Amino acid sequence: MKEKIIYLFGQISGTYDSERKALIPCFDDFYTVIVELAETENIKPNILDIGAGTGLLTHLMLAKYPKADCSLIDISDEMLLIAKKRFAGCKNIKYINGDYEKYQFTSKFDIIVSALSIHHLSDEGKAGLYKKIYTLLNNNGIFINGDQFLSPNNETEKLYQKNWLKKIDSSGLADEQKKGAYNRMKLDKPASINDNIKWLVKAGFKDVDIFYKYYNFGVIAGRK
């Protein structure tokens, strides 16, 4: 499964960023809310980007915290190569090519973020990762997950998918790009927002809530 993810995302690493706004109809609001929620009193926070890909989210975080130390972890080396080009010359960036479920981090973080990655894990994997993330945060640190979520009922889920497909059809993407997106969707294992919130609370997070939602896209967060 993870080998397939590495392969498919490696294939589109060069066009990943340019496709984002087409594949995420709520792109601007989605990422804006993640960055807005990333509040800390530390003017030089230690930030971890889980499933960082090409560094798109880290780029936005650095606009808010230019003195931050950022660690980017992703299972795809090809995606991280794009990130390295994006941040060429930046000395406050660390790149980790690895599986964030298994990787043994040695630092603590003030802010941990993730965008459109954790939905690839099994439900057990999501719950386990949230426990791990909790241990990696400094006291009062925050975790923010912008992701795709499953509707709690079948009819609404059909509505989610219908809306997304309609937006993709009118997005201007080439047929090959659409086909690639549909193939990558087959690897998705989203869970409901309620289940994700339950797992965050069980892991120990406080002030857990959903702060943004657009059909199947949402932003949830909790603080240690």
Q: What is the pLDDT of residues 25-44, one digit of tens each?
A: 899 999 999 999 999 999 99
For 166-187, write each residue's pLDDT tens digit: 888 887 878 788 777 777 777 7
Write down the H helix ranges in 38-122: 56-64, 77-86
DSSP state of 141: E
Residue 160 in contact with residue 188, Cβ under 8 Å?
no
Task: Name the residue with higher pLDDT: 23 or 35.
Answer: 35
Q: How far is CA 177 from CA 22, 94, 188, 193, in A?
A: 10, 30, 17, 28
Q: Which residues contact 186 (CB under 8 A, 6 or more apart)?
A: none
Number of domains making up the chain: 1
> Which pTM was predicted?
0.93
Kindly state the average pLDDT of the residues 12-29: 78
Q: For residue 139, what are the domain limits?
A: 2-223
Q: Which uninterrupted H or E stretch holds 48?
A: strand 46-50
pLDDT band at 12 (very low <50, low <70, confident <90, very high): low
Residue 112: give its domain's CATH number.
Answer: 3.40.50.150
Is the confidence at residue 210, as pLDDT, over 80? yes
Question: What is the Cα–Cα distance from 24 to 30, expressed in whole angstroms?
Answer: 8
